[in-house]
């Protein structure tokens, strides 16, 4: 066989691999549901549980570095916040994808003249549902933090226990009146309870600010409601990615079908040519 023909029929170099086909999203129409539907409370409780677990983990790990350096506090507490936002975003995205699939099913059955039960049709994708679920999940925490934000005051001092040698001077007329201030019974009021709960809910931010800066803590106390809304927004934005996630699934299925068809055509061509003759 001539050298030119051998070169032409030679197989390509094994190192050159074919590029993997890029999956393109395939969007399909779907019906829209209602913002509030049956079963939405399960998602609300799930998101609420995720936030409660985050508070518990932050109390353990975040507080351990509460008095550390700024970089360490930012790294640990910032990492905890990013983990929370990522989890809620993924939860919302998964729920959005499920609802889009329900909307496609509802549309398909309606086009075939078969209607879904209203309780199932209402569960189809609704863009505002993700934000509604996130807000309702954070609502109990939001109420507490808003109530404290309106009554927050700067903490500048705290009563300490007098040493024994000083407490013995309380009977002296000249200084006894001043020392009697320390005999007052400090009661735990409603504002104190709200402060404890609010700072517990925002403990990563408190750890970043540190409890030694009264001015920054006061600013944080008034901004805590906004920090509570951030997880709700991440869930809502994650839910909005549901249609694209569903479209990527359809695109992956279509891509696999195209590869299967190409393989079947190649196999038919090989069978049509018949077995090669061995020289």
Q: Is residue 5 part of a domain?
A: no
For residues 49-78, average pLDDT: 82
For the residues 70-91, what does the mean pLDDT come to? 91
Domain of 43, in residue numbers? 25-253
Question: pTM above 0.85?
Answer: no
Question: What is the structure's pLDDT at 182?
Answer: 52
Domain assignment present for residue 183? The answer is yes
At residue 211, the pLDDT reads: 62
Paired tokens of 189: 């009021």
Question: Residue 260, class by beta-carbon neighbours within 10 Å (0-12 exposed, 13-18 middle, 19+ buried)?
Answer: exposed
Whether 89 and 119 have beta carbons less than 8 Å apart is answered as no
What domain count does the chain have?
A: 1
Has residue 180 been placed in a domain?
yes
Tell whether 145 is covered by a domain. yes
* Predicted pLDDT at 271: 78
- The answer, yes or no, to whether residue 258 has pLDDT greater than 60, is yes
Using alpha carbons, select from 87, 94, 102, 92 the residue that is nearest to residue 134: 92
What pLDDT does residue 65 have? 65
Q: What is the mean pLDDT of residues 243-249?
A: 91
The CA R_g of the chain, rounded to the nearest whole Å, is 32
- Per-chain mean pLDDT for the chain: 79
pLDDT tens digits for range 158-196: 555 544 444 444 444 444 445 555 555 556 678 888 888
In a domain, 119, yes or no: yes
Residue 200 has pLDDT above 70, yes or no: yes
- Residue 276: per-residue pLDDT: 56
11 lies in some domain: no
Q: Which of 70-84, 224-238, 252-266 has the lowest mean pLDDT?
A: 252-266
Given its phi and psi angles, is residue 38 left (phi above 0), alpha (psi -120 to 50 degrees) or beta?
A: beta
- What pLDDT sits at residue 17? 47
Identify the pLDDT of residue 174. Answer: 46
**Mean pLDDT, rounded, for 48-74:** 82
Let me know if residue 20 belongs to a domain.
Answer: no
């Amino acid at each position: 066989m001539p050298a030119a023909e051998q070169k032409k029929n030679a197989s390509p170099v094994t190192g050159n691999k074919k590029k993997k086909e890029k999956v393109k999203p395939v969007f399909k129409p779907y019906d829209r549901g209602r913002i509030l539907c049956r079963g939405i409370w399960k998602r609300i409780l799930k998101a609420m549980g995720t936030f409660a677990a985050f508070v518990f983990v932050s109390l353990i790990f975040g507080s351990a570095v509460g008095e550390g350096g700024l970089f360490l506090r930012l790294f640990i507490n910032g990492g905890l916040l990013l983990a929370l936002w990522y989890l809620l975003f993924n939860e919302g995205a998964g729920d959005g994808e499920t609802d889009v699939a329900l909307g496609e099913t509802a549309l398909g059955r309606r086009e075939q003249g078969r209607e879904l039960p209203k309780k199932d049709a209402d569960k189809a994708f609704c863009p505002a549902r993700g934000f509604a679920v996130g807000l309702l999940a954070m609502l109990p925490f939001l109420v507490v933090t808003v109530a404290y934000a309106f009554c927050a005051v700067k903490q500048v001092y705290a009563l300490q226990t007098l040493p024994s040698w000083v407490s013995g001077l309380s009977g002296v007329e000249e200084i006894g009146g001043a020392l009697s201030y320390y005999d007052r019974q400090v009661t735990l009021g409603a504002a104190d309870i709200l402060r404890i709960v609010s700072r517990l809910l925002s403990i990563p931010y408190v750890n970043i600010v540190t409890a030694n800066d009264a001015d920054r803590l006061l600013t944080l106390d008034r901004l805590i409601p906004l920090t509570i809304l951030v997880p709700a927004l991440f869930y809502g934005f994650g839910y909005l990615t549901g249609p694209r996630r569903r479209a990527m699934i359809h695109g992956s299925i279509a891509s696999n079908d195209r590869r299967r068809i190409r393989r079947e055509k190649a196999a038919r061509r090989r069978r049509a040519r018949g077995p090669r003759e061995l020289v």
